[in-house]
Amino acid sequence: MTLSSASSTSTPFPQTALPGIELLPGRPPTLCAPPVADPVEWAGAHRDALRAAVAEHGSLLVRGLGLHEPALTGAVLRRLADGLMQDQEAFAPRRRYADGVYSSSKWPPNQPMCMHHELSYALEFPGLLMFACLEAPAEGGATGVADSAAVLDALPAELVQRFEKEGWLLTRTFNDEIGATVAEAFGTSDRASVERYCRAHAIEFTWEPDGSLRTRQHRGAVLRHPVTGRRCWFNQIAFLNEWTMDPEVHEYLVDVYGADGLPFNTRYGNGDPIGLDVVQLLNDVYAAHTVREPWRGGDLLLVDNIRTAHSREPFEGPREVLAALADPVRRTDSPDSTVSADIAGSAGSFEGTSS
């Protein structure tokens, strides 16, 4: 895949220029598409230009395509992507609409999903995220975005240096009561298959006497963008940390499962716990760099998953947002240096360089 230009696969439609993109403070770059009879054909005709805009700005909100139906929306998403990915290692369950097309993660509507990069703890993750709003909520529920290179520059140098040197740890406990189950995260409940996956993806694992699975994976916290070369704060250190949980939820989970049995938690790469003050700092820096625009039904949001973090605000009322994970990138972890990444599956793939 490439974030800045089309892949070697051609599209049957002529490539045409985009109308003007609005760049307003506090909002993501926004394109108001003209009325179109066939959104799939329009997406094909503007594919290269849309992807170039995402490469330039980090994200792009496309308004006016009228994406209100899953089958049509899925066809548009497939037209824009080099290839859709299966949702593996999910931290929360999703509904599957079609091959590679899912609901947004099932998360309590009254709780925010803090800034993160999708599957940043996996060895292979999406380079491009696509979200389509079939039904906007009555209140709230915006998908905010934040520039990860700007976030990195705003963080204290000593904190960045520690995470660059040590990386970060994600610990998870899978059971059938909270969060994603083993089957939802790995696509199977067969122990041998899960173990093969974990070994192939640098995940340590232990089966507990009660049948639950505990995993541990060590990843780099800073990634050099494989196309632009920019250093990006790329992880889920804050979002998947215990101190980002609602205090009452955290207290309940610790009481029921114990401090070591939380569905997920993060640590410094050497195993030290990450303090509440650090988590608050990370979330405060994200908040200072967040831009947002309330969803309207039919909207499409394209996000460069490396350059741009995303979040989901609490909401009221029904909210239906489809998600597609596209254009896989494979990371080559090296906790003592800036992590590099290879663009998977493209002709003449790019490779990031370590600092």
pLDDT at site 342: 64
Instruction: Tell me the residue ranges of DSSP E strands in 96-161.
Output: 96-98, 101-103, 113-116, 124-135, 139-140, 145-147
- Alpha-carbon distance of 112 to 312, in angstroms, equals 6
What's the pTM value of the predicted model, to 2 decimals? Answer: 0.88
Please name which of 4, 7, 54, 79 lies closest in space to residue 345, comparing C-alpha atoms: 7
- Residue 290, SS3? strand
pLDDT at site 7: 35
Q: With contact defined as beta carbons under 8 Å apart, do 136 and 319 qualify?
A: yes
DSSP H/E element including 281: helix 276-288
pLDDT at site 338: 53
Q: What is the mean pLDDT of each run of 10 residues along the chain (355 residues)?
A: 33 56 96 92 96 96 94 96 91 85 87 94 96 95 97 98 97 86 93 97 95 95 94 97 91 90 95 97 98 97 98 94 95 57 42 30
* 3-state secondary structure labels for all residues of 312-348: ECCEECCCEEEEEEEEEEEEECCCCCCEEEEECCCCC
pLDDT at site 104: 86
- Residue 78, SS3? helix
- Residue 128, SS3? strand
- Rounded to 5°, the CA angle 288-290-294 comes to 140
pLDDT at site 6: 33
pLDDT at site 189: 93
Q: With contact defined as beta carbons under 8 Å apart, do 221 and 164 qualify?
A: yes
The gap from C-alpha 281 to its chain's centroid, in whole angstroms, comes to 21
DSSP H/E element including 219: strand 213-219
Cβ neighbours, 10 Å, residue 289: 18
Measuring CA to CA, how many Å separate 101 from each of 43, 78, 96, 237?
Answer: 17, 9, 6, 26
What's the chain's length in residues? 355
Q: What letter would DSSP give residue 273?
A: B
DSSP H/E element including 253: helix 247-257
Q: With contact defined as beta carbons under 8 Å apart, do 133 and 298 qualify?
A: yes
* 3-state secondary structure labels for all residues of 147-196: EHHHHHHHCCHHHHHHHHHHCEEEEEEECCCCCCCHHHHHCCCCHHHHHH
pLDDT at site 1: 31
pLDDT at site 331: 86
Query: What is the b/e burial string over 174-187, where b = at least 16 CB atoms within 10 angstroms of the residue's CB?
Result: bbeebbbbbebbbb
pLDDT at site 341: 65
Phi and psi, residue 238, nearest 5°: -80, -45
